[in-house]
């Protein structure tokens, strides 16, 4: 894999009551607490016209992801085919998309 550096500048952060990955459910519908998207005031003007309850797409970055893991298995079941693009915090490509609606 080529060594290329990228600079990402966050425009906000997701916040929830979760403080440790091991306490998080595998999926949000399995008992995850509510989370909030806090947007920096420097870019909040870009939210004009977005209303409470409106559908949005959020691109996040798993900053604690392990970049050396090339395969993950659904529910850690190695009898199932491995998948690269599972929603998982250990992905080599830690940029998941979330549809909020």
pLDDT tops 70 at residue 100: no
- pLDDT bin (cut points 50, 70, 90) of residue 22 is confident
| Dihedral sign computed on CA atoms, order 73, 75, 77, 79 | negative
Give yes or no for a contact between 53 and 40, defined as CB atoms under 8 angstroms apart: no
pLDDT of residue 68: 73
Q: How many CB atoms lie within 10 A of CB 98?
A: 15
pLDDT at position 94 is 56
Query: Where does 1-101 show beta strands of DSSP type E?
Result: 12-16, 35-39, 56-59, 97-100
pTM above 0.85, yes or no: no
The end-to-end CA distance of the chain, in Å, is 36
Predicted confidence (pLDDT) per residue in 42-85, tens digit:
999 988 998 888 888 888 877 777 777 767 777 767 787 666 55
């Amino acid at each position: 894999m080529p060594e290329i550096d990228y600079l990402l500048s966050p425009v906000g952060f997701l916040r929830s009551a979760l403080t440790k990955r091991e306490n998080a459910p595998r999926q949000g519908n399995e008992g995850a607490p509510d989370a909030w998207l806090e947007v920096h005031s420097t870019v909040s003007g870009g939210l004009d016209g977005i209303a409470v309850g409106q559908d949005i797409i959020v691109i996040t970055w798993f900053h604690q992801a392990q970049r050396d893991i090339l395969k993950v298995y659904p529910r850690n079941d190695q009898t199932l085919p491995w998948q690269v693009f599972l929603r998982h915090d250990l992905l080599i490509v830690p940029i998941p998309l979330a549809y909020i609606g």
